[in-house]
């Protein structure tokens, strides 16, 4: 009799437990298939989303067409130096020296290949600067030794020059000679180089930047520096211009 | 005379074998389906790329992606839409509107959750907090500690989403910010070791919350040639994660990678390129098993 009771109780418990277990079904991945669907015109278009975007697109278009300055003449890139890279590196150095809480910059470097279109003579729009500098590159400060600076200039000489401000050198047999920073020969001290995060990461073969003894981000984008500088020139009634001043030259 | 314990044991086994087998059978729920849609590194590509683009002519765009998502939702019941970070930065839309449009559009498209990419910090952590407040979907960050920052309380370490019969656990893994983001932009945000945090959150979701599946949204990057924590490394060194959806490395894949984890289970590792050029889609069939029922029957011995 006692056993029968126990038996009934245990069956009762089992039924209850199994019922509750059913409600708590445990799933496991059995199989999977995948796709990476190409988003193109064949997909169609959500009109609700398009309607949400349209006013932003229109007002952005208007913003991009705004004139921020005027170019005195066409500024284009070139080697060993160029009007465009001289303009951009000079303004980067100047804008960096306006930043609070940073040491003054000795040299600024922006690669010519990173400046995607020439600036045409005449009115400059925001869109032109986006076309000139489509990348979101941030300006970073690198602290470099005298030896690293020599390596840097020798590298630039080996590729036939590039965008530089604050320094000058001649190219002889693919090497840098008569190196000057702020019109003075290299001294046995550290130098501050302002460049883009892209180059600082060793982009465009600027491997030497990865050896820098210190790196500091500024939060300032190269593009924003250009836009702000041109706007400031306009406020002063000045036009966008630069000169070829033999900062990099062939000595042979 | 047989002992009481062994008598009960036999009774229970007999009962379950004969009398209760119909109950066991009814417990065998049909397979469940889950469709996971994922994007990463959309980088403010609101419009399709221009027709003149050398690599992706006329591809991408939010309005098209939304249309595709709508049609998949009409065809399938259990659809999850996730983004793995770097929503922002890359077109003038972000420079001018500061991320408002991206969040508005993702709200409208019904994203279920997202995690943060490094570029989310580009306009500073204060600006990020404002954008996150506007989102009607959660930002899941399992390894950023925001407790001392303006982002405090604006992200969650994991999220449980129920779709049909399925209980889905979602975690979010962020990349180390130092060296990648200006410290002035992320300020008091603290990056924590992702493997440890992933294990902690996934264990909680699978073992304590009884989630059927755990998905990690990651912005760590698919894999690296040098030593750096990545989706593959997380997959190898964790338990309880079924799927890792990635970002950061802008990886286009033909097939997801399949990595064996610490328990010998397979982890699906996927990533959908960048720029909204692709919509990643993973269709899972999940079968119910009776691990819990069996365990409970065994426990009857102790009655």
Q: What is the pLDDT of residue B303?
A: 29
Q: Which of A22, A28, A49 is closest, CB to CB, to B289?
A: A28
What are the backbone angles phi and psi of residue A182, rounded to the nearest 5°? 50, 40
B152 and B297 inside one domain: no
For residue A140, being part of any structural domain is answered with yes
| Contact criterion met (CB below 8 Å) for A108 and A164 | yes
Residues 38-57 of A with CB under 8 A from B: 38-41, 43-50, 52-53, 56-57
d(CA A178, CA A186): 9
State the pLDDT confidence band at A3, using cuts at 50, 70 and 90. Answer: low
Binary contact (A46, B63; C-beta < 8 A): yes
For residue A170, is it within any domain? yes
Tally C-beta pairs within 8 A across A and B. Answer: 207
Domain shared by B87 and B225, yes or no: yes
In a domain, A34, yes or no: no
Task: Note the pLDDT of residue A134.
Answer: 85
Q: Are residues B51 and B145 in the same domain?
A: yes
CA angle at B231 for the pair B226 and B234, rounded to the nearest 5°: 95
Percent of chain B with pLDDT over 90: 79
Regarding whether B142 and B211 lie in a shared domain, the answer is: yes
Top pLDDT among B297 and B120 is at B120
Q: Let me know whether B24 and B166 are in one domain.
A: no
Cβ-Cβ contacts under 8 Å, A222 against chain B: none
CA distance B96 to A45: 24
Using the predicted structure, report yes or no on whether residue B18 has a pLDDT greater than 80. no
A95 or A2: which carries more pLDDT confidence?
A: A95
Nearest Cα neighbor of B55 from B249, B256, B277 is B277
In a domain, A9, yes or no: no
- Identify which of B93, B242, B254 has the shortest CB distance to residue A29: B242
* Structural domain for B170, as ranges: 35-287
Number of separate domains in chain A: 1
Mean pLDDT on B17-28: 49
Q: Which domain holds residue A105?
A: 60-250
- Give the DSSP letter string of chain B: ---HHHHHHHHHHHIIIIITHHHHHHT-PPPEEEEEEEE---TT--SPPPTT-SSSTT---HHHHHHHHHHHHHH-SSEEEEE-S--S-SSHHHHHHTTHHHHHHHHHHT--EE---GGGGTT-HHHHHHHHHH-SSPBB-SSEE-TTSTTTTTSBSEEEEEETTEEEEEEEE----BTTB-HHHHTT-EE--HHHHHHHHHHIIIIIS--SEEEEEE-S-S--SSS---HHHHHHT-SS--EEE--SS----SS-EEEE-TTS-EEEEE---STTSEEEEEEEEEEEE-HHHHHHHHHGGG-
Which pLDDT value is given to residue A16?
47
How much is the pTM? 0.77
Residue A55: inside a domain, yes or no? no
pLDDT at B178: 85
Average pLDDT over residues B205-222: 97
Q: Which of A10, A47, A49 sits opposite B300 (nearest CB)?
A: A10
pLDDT of residue B179: 73
Contact of A5 with chain B, judged by CB distance below 8 Å, is answered with no
Provide the CATH number for the domain around residue B131.
3.60.21.10
Check which CATH number belongs to the domain holding A165 and give it: 3.90.780.10
My answer on whether B131 and B8 are in the same domain is no
Chain B nearest-CA distance from A14, in A, is 7
In a domain, A118, yes or no: yes
Among B63, B97, B276, beta carbon nearest to A56:
B97
* Candidates B23, B280, B284; nearest CB to A18: B23
Q: Is residue A39 part of a domain?
A: no
The answer to whether B64 contacts A38, with C-beta atoms less than 8 Å apart, is no
The model's pLDDT over A200-223, given as tens digits with 9 standing for 90+, comes to 988 899 999 999 999 998 989 999
Considering the domain architecture, whether residues B204 and B292 belong to the same structural domain is answered as no
pLDDT at A95 over 50: yes
Q: What is the mean pLDDT of chain B?
A: 89
Tally the domains of chain B.
2
- Does A150 map to a domain? yes
Cross-chain residue pair A49–B109, CB shorter than 8 Å? yes
For chain A positions 82-141, those within 8 Å of chain B (CB to CB) are 126, 130, 136, 138
How close does chain A come to B212, measured CA to CA in Å?
A: 5
Q: pLDDT tens digits for B68-98?
A: 999 999 999 999 999 999 999 989 999 899 9
What average pLDDT does this structure show over A226-245?
A: 98
B118 and B215 inside one domain = yes
């Amino acid at each position: 009799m006692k056993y029968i009771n126990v038996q009934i109780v245990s069956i009762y418990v089992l039924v209850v437990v199994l019922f509750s277990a059913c409600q708590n079904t445990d799933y496991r991945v059995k199989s999977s298939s995948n796709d990476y669907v190409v988003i193109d015109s064949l997909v169609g278009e959500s009109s609700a989303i398009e309607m949400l975007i349209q006013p932003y697109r229109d007002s952005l278009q208007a913003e991009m067409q705004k004139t921020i300055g005027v170019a005195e003449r066409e500024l284009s890139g070139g080697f060993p130096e160029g009007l465009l890279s001289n303009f951009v590196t000079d303004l980067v150095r100047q804008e960096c020296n306006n930043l609070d809480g940073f040491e003054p910059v000795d040299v600024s470097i922006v690669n010519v290949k990173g400046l995607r279109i020439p600036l045409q003579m005449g009115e400059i729009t925001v869109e032109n600067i986006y076309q000139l500098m489509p990348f979101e590159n941030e300006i970073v400060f690198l602290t470099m030794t005298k030896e690293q600076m020599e390596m840097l200039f020798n590298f630039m000489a080996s590729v036939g020059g590039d965008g530089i401000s604050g320094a000058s050198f001649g190219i002889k047999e693919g090497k840098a000679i008569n190196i000057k920073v702020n019109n003075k020969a290299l001294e046995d001290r550290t130098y501050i180089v302002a460049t883009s995060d892209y180059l600082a990461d060793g982009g465009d073969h600027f491997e030497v930047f990865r050896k820098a003894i210190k790196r500091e981000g500024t939060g300032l984008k190269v593009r924003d520096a250009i836009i702000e500088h041109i706007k400031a020139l306009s406020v002063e009634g000045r036009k966008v211009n630069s000169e070829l001043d033999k900062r990099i030259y062939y000595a042979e | 005379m047989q002992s009481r314990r062994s008598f009960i044991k036999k009774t229970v086994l007999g009962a379950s074998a004969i009398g209760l087998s119909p109950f066991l059978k009814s417990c065998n729920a049909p397979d469940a389906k889950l469709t996971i849609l994922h994007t990463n590194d959309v980088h403010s590509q609101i419009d399709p790329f221009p027709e003149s683009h050398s690599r992706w002519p006329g591809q991408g765009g939010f309005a098209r992606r939304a249309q595709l998502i709508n049609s998949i939702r009409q065809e399938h019941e259990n659809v999850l839409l996730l983004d793995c970070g770097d929503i922002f930065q890359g077109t003038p839309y972000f420079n001018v509107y500061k991320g408002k449009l991206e969040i508005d559009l993702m709200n409208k498209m019904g994203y279920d959750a997202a995690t943060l990419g490094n570029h989310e910090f580009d306009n500073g952590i204060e600006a990020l907090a404002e954008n996150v407040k506007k989102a009607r979907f959660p930002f899941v960050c399992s390894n950023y500690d925001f407790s001392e920052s303006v982002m405090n309380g604006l992200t969650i370490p994991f999220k449980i989403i129920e779709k049909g019969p399925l209980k889905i656990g979602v975690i979010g893994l962020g990349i180390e910010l130092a060296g990648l983001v200006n410290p002035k932009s992320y300020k008091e945000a603290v990056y924590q070791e992702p493997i440890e945090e992933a294990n902690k959150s996934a264990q909680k979701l699978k073992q304590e919350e009884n989630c059927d599946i755990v998905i990690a949204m990651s912005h760590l990057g698919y894999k690296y040639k040098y030593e750096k924590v990545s989706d593959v490394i997380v997959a190898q060194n964790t338990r309880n994660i079924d799927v890792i959806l990635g970002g950061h490395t802008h990886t286009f894949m033909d097939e997801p990678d399949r990595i064996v984890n610490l328990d010998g289970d397979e982890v699906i590792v996927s990533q959908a390129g960048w720029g909204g050029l692709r919509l990643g889609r993973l269709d899972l069939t999940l079968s119910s098993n009776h691990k819990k029922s069996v365990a409970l029957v065994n426990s009857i011995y102790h009655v």
